[in-house]
Amino acid sequence: MSFSDYSAQPTCPHNARTQKTRSTPSTDKVIASFNTWAFKREQPSDVDLLSNIVRKQINNGSPIQFVLYWGKGPRNRTALPDLQCLDYLMAFADRVKSVYEPGAHLTLIYTDTHAALNGHSAANTQQYFAGIEAAAAERGFGQCRLGDLVRKFRSRGSHEADHSGRGAMLSNLTRSASRWYRGGGDAEAGAVAYYDMNMVEKHVIEAAFPQSIFVTFNGSDLRALFPDNLPIFYMYSLRKGFGVKPWFIDDAIESLAQPGAGQIA
C-alpha cells in the first residue's frame, strides 16, 4: 500500500493536499469503496455530512481523512491483535486508494487520558503506545496523543461539557468499567468520569479534525461519546464480524475472543 509521506511523530492533525488526478471518481464511488460490510459493523451516522466531507476532499485533490481512538488495555507491549488491526485498517485505506488516487489518510489518536483514568501508569502507557507508534509509522498512519490535543485545542472552543445524556449511558459504561477501570472509586465513579471526559474531548476532536470522518470500533449505542459534528463510521476491529478492540485482547487467546463493544478505553 502506498500512502503519502506523513510524519510519524505525534504532532497531528496534518492537513494533506495532492494534485487532482485526471479522472476524478464520483463521491458515491469513493464512499462505496470503504462503506462496505467487509469493514462496517452498521451503517454510518450522518450520511449527508459524510458525503459533503468526501466531496470537498475530492474537489481539493486531498486524501480522505479518517481519525480514530486507540486505547490502552492490560498489555504493556504490542501483540498480534494490534498488528492484525493495523493491517485491517491498511486494507480499509487500500479500498479508497483503489478508486481514488490520493487515497486515504488515517490518524490514530492514542487515548492517554483514558489510560490514566483507568489506572494505568504513565510508564506502562508509554511503553505500549511506543510499540503501536512504531508499527503505525511503518504503515504510514498519522498519530498523536489525545492529551496533547486537549491541551492544544480545548481553549479554542466555548463548549461546556454536556452531562444531560449521562444517565442513559451510565449502566452500559459501568458494566465496562467493572472490567477495565482501576482508578479511584468504584466502577460507577469511573464510568461517570469517563463520560464527562468524553464530553470535552469530542469537541476537541472536532476542532482538531474538522474535515475528517471519525472511525470507532464501538457501535451506535455510544454515539453520544463521539464528535457531534463529524460523521461516524462504525467499523469492525480485526476482520469482518469481529468487534473486540485489539488492546483488550491477549494474543494467546485472540481466536477465542468474542465480539463486543463499549469497553472503556
Which DSSP state fits 224?
Answer: G
| Residue 77 reports pLDDT greater than 90 | yes
| Nearest CA among 179, 189, 202 for reference residue 263 | 179
Task: Describe the crossing of helices 27-34 and 47-60 by its angle, rounded to 10 degrees.
Answer: 110
Please give the Cα distance from 251 to 163 (Å, whole number). Answer: 37
Phi and psi at residue 141, to the nearest 5°: -85, 150
| Residue 3 reports pLDDT greater than 50 | no
Please give the Cα distance from 112 to 91 (Å, whole number). Answer: 26
- Lowest-confidence segment of 57-61, 121-125, 157-161 by average pLDDT: 157-161
| Nearest CA among 179, 200, 181 for reference residue 189 | 181
What ranges make up the beta strands (E) of 97-148? 104-110, 142-145
Residue type, 109: I
pTM: 0.85
Confidence class of residue 177 from pLDDT cuts 50, 70 and 90? confident
According to the model, what pLDDT value does residue 18 have? 44
21's grid cell: 488526478
| Residue 158 reports pLDDT greater than 50 | no
Cβ–Cβ under 8 Å, residues 156 and 21: no
According to the model, what pLDDT value does residue 230 have? 98
What ranges make up the beta strands (E) of 62-177? 64-70, 104-110, 142-145
According to the model, what pLDDT value does residue 13 have? 54
| Residue 160 reports pLDDT greater than 60 | no
Q: What percent of the chain has pLDDT over 90?
A: 69
208's grid cell: 482538531
Sort 46 into a burial class: Cβ within 10 Å, 0-12 / 13-18 / 19+.
middle
Confidence class of residue 129 from pLDDT cuts 50, 70 and 90? very high
